[in-house]
Amino acid sequence: MIENVLWIAVALMVLSSVIPAKRGAKYLVGGVGWIFFSVHWAYQPVHYIEISDYFNVVLTLAIAAFCLFMAHNMIREYREPSISGRGGDIDIVLMVTSATAIGSLFYFPFANIPALNQWLISNVTNATAGLLTFLGYNVDSTWHKITYNGYTVQIILACTAIESIALFTGLIISINAPFKRLMSAFMISVPVIYALNIVRDAFVIVAYGDQWFGPESFEIAHHVIAKIGSAIALFVIAYAVMRILPELLDMIDGLWQMTTRRVRNIVRKS
């Protein structure tokens, strides 16, 4: 049931992205898409409560609230186009809608279609095992597991960096900029993220197999060092992309300004 809600949300936002801006249906369709997307995220805390992951409970509820905020902006533009016109806030909303639609269209098939899920995991597993073999490590691998020194690591979807790849793909494609700059931004982000993720997975496997950090080697390598390294790498990549596409920084800043302004207005009224 909830997967159907997700696909409806993505389909509506994609449709909204291709409908010409002069047609009011663009905003209504996009607004309804954001509402369905909010329902999807509002359902996610059920899973996280079961595993006592309260950080993600709060995060997914915040995302659901943000989706409703975006829906409100689009539906308001549909009902009262004279208020915000075709510039300013609504341009930011349309860009964010396009970025979300593209990123979701890229990510969710891998997350929800078993054949694509297995293909991606197998691809990353083979690439990681190939890198380790090239570096001289004797590993055994299946389509989703790599064993080194008797220690086995299972590659799951989160180990493929597909979330970050989808995010940067959606953001880059949604920007209205010359093709050459878009391709430059794409090439210094998506392929680099994929390659660095293979190195990250290889590092975790070697650290775990050689027990670099004792009994807690996997936890330290994966949950601490690899996560910190990934965060630093994504920050550097994002900086490089925004240097090439300053329009992306304008979109992020515009979204922040719009959101904080609306929140202040709500606080004043209350």
Q: What is the largest CA-CA distance in the chain?
A: 67
Query: Residue 104: which of 193, 27, 167 has the closest Cα?
Result: 167
Tokens for 102, please give them.
């593209």
- Report the alpha-carbon distance of residue 159 to residue 156 in Å, rounded: 5
- Report the alpha-carbon distance of residue 44 to residue 2 in Å, rounded: 9
Q: Which residues are the active-site residues?
A: 159, 200
Tokens for 224, please give them.
């601490």
- CB contact burial 128-154 (16+ within 10 A = b; e otherwise): bbebbeeeebebebeebebbbeebebe
Partners of residue 140 on adjacent β-strands: 147
- Report the alpha-carbon distance of residue 99 to residue 175 in Å, rounded: 8
Per-residue DSSP letter, 2: H
